[in-house]
Amino acid sequence: MKVRSAALTLVLAASSASAFSTATSGWGVSSRTSAFVESAARRRTVPALRQRNDARSQHHGRSPALSAGRRRSRAQRMATVEEDIVVVSGDSAATISNDIFFKEGFIPMDQAEAALSRKVARRSAAKYLKKFEGQTAASVIYAKLQENGVTVVNGYSGGAILPLLDQFHVDHPRHSEDGSPAPIQWITNSNESSAGHIAEGFAKCADEIDGKMQAGVVVATSGPGVTNLITPITDAICDGVPMVVLCGQAATFAPEAAFQSCPAVEMTKPCTKWSYQIKNAAEVPFVMDYAFFVAREGRPGPVFIDLPKDLQNQVITHDLVAEWTGGLSCDGTEGAVKEDFVSLSSRRRRGETFHAISLGDAEKALHFEVKGEEDEELKLTPIHSTSEDDEFVGDHHQTDMVYRSATGSNGDAISAAEGDLNGSQATMEMIDL
């Protein structure tokens, strides 16, 4: 059986497109087929093929120059295949094309599958963002508040948060559109600190949604607006109260000493489950989904999102989505940036390997996938692990520590223990109580 190397390459790549099946060998095929491929790789290397073609050319009376020209044509076609693979992977580094098997005319199935899997994950992220095209980041934030069941928002105005505040105005065109949800009730408080404490009280007394507390939402401006919220945010993390705090920030191009600019993320990290400044309007839908999930999951607590004013006004366009999804880093690839909030991560489920959308920092990233049909609402769905150390079960408190102590009737300490929140002995003893 004679199989040309380029054709075998395309067959292997095409076969991986149908399903990400578990490889039974290094090539992702049966052992028998793998043995044939390896044998073919040894016999039909590029130098051997060229020697054979030269011999055939001389036998049939064709000139070596013509054969060389046809060889160049085949090389160009192989280059086209290589370019297609680079596009599929979406990575700047053509890791597949540098592999020795590719140079011999073969691509290992696991690498071809990984390239296709990354493409599928990027495509699903782009499909999820499609419904937000044409909207500003501020508009998306308001829509996500409605999507997460928010009916009341407390806050205090300021210049850096005006693009978001405009979405709450009763005369905003979005509220008069056919089929639009009921407007969110806006409550202006005496100051940001009061807004924070009222949001805490709302979260404590509001009806639960899906068996979990609703998150109180606060909107405030930059600088002193953020610092006035430190006390209620700290109170919320101590009491386990879910809150989503949205604050304006000076524009990304503003100087460090800009009016009412402050290191909001650094100040709120010690007293929140998660604190983040948006980098691009395209990531805002993922940021809002992640914020509500983390605030309400596990032990509830506050999350903080910093919103530079220029990014609140940034419009999500088709080109922006394509550029952003195409640049998503992936674990295990050269140049992957683990600091990115949104990235791709390889996961295994029921024996199959695929790429999920990874949200969060490197230490506490959570993995999601886009669920829903074309004509339905696409939603991010968490991917739970089958192991006992499921990251969705773990708490996202900054310390991840629990302390237990007890005092006898005479005032003496009779027991004390401490440990991390994820299955330590101290945690298990407290649960057993």
Query: Please, what is the Cα angle at 215 between 429 and 356, to 5 degrees?
Result: 75
Closest CA to 116 of 23, 21, 13: 13
Instruction: Please classify residue 240 by burial: count the beta carbons closer than 10 Å to its beta carbon, then call 0-12 exposed, 13-18 middle and 19+ buried.
Output: middle
HSE-up of 248 (CA within 13 Å, CB side)?
Answer: 27
Closest CA to 244 of 358, 155, 340: 155
Which one is predicted more confidently, 171 or 104? 171
The helix, strand and coil proportions of the chain, stated in percent and rounded to the nearest 5, come to: 45, 20, 40
Highest mean pLDDT among 78-92, 102-116, 300-314, 372-386: 300-314
Strand pairing report for 274-277 and 302-308: parallel
pLDDT of residue 72: 43
| Maximum distance among all Cα pairs of the chain, rounded to whole angstroms | 108
C-alpha 121/C-alpha 426 separation (Å) is 40
Strand pairing report for 413-420 and 274-277: unpaired
Domain 134-316 has CATH 3.40.50.970: yes
Q: What tens digit of pLDDT does each residue of 253-280 get?
A: 988 878 888 999 999 999 999 999 999 9
Query: Please, what is the Cα angle at 385 between 14 and 395, to 5 degrees?
Result: 140
Q: What tens digit of pLDDT does each residue of 305-333 get?
A: 999 999 999 999 999 999 999 988 887 55
Instruction: Please classify residue 200 by burial: count the beta carbons closer than 10 Å to its beta carbon, then call 0-12 exposed, 13-18 middle and 19+ buried.
Output: buried
Question: At 44, is the secondary structure helix, strand, or coil?
Answer: coil
Q: What tens digit of pLDDT does each residue of 197-233 get?
A: 999 999 999 998 888 999 999 999 999 999 999 999 9
pTM (predicted TM-score): 0.69
